[in-house]
Amino acid sequence: MTGNQTEALFGMLVTFGLLVLMVLPSVIGIVRDRRVDRQLREAQEAVSAGKETQKSSDRSTVPSTATWYAEGRRSKKLVNS
C-alpha cells in the first residue's frame, strides 16, 4: 500500500465513523419508539381481552404521613387564631 492509499483508507474510516456517530441517536430513538409501541399494543390487547387491571379505587385509602402532618398543622393554626 502506498502512502496515498493509506491516507484515503484512513479518511474513509474517519468519515464512516462520523456517519455512524450522527445516525446512532436516531436509530436508538426508533428502537425505543418501537418498544413503547409494542408495550402499548400489548396493554391495549389485554384490556380488550377483558383482563382485570388494578383500578385506582383498589388502592389503599390510608393518608400518607405528609397528609397527617399537614392536617395537624392546619388544626393548630385554627386553634391558635
The cell numbers describing 74, all together, are 392546619
The reported pLDDT for the residue numbered 14 is 97
For the question of whether the overall pTM of this predicted structure is more than 0.85, the answer is no
- On whether residue 37 sits in a domain, the answer given is yes
Q: How many domains does one find in the chain?
A: 1
- On whether residue 30 sits in a domain, the answer given is yes
Show Cβ contacts of residue 47 under 8 Å, excluding neighbours closer than 6 positions: 53
- On whether residue 64 sits in a domain, the answer given is no
Residue found under cell 450522527: 22
DSSP-derived letter for residue 25 is H
Structural domain for 34, as ranges: 23-48
Query: What are the tens digits of pLDDT across the range 3-19?
Result: 999 999 999 999 999 99
Show Cβ contacts of residue 63 under 8 Å, excluding neighbours closer than 6 positions: 71
- On whether residue 27 sits in a domain, the answer given is yes
* Degrees, nearest 5: CA angle 21-36-33: 30
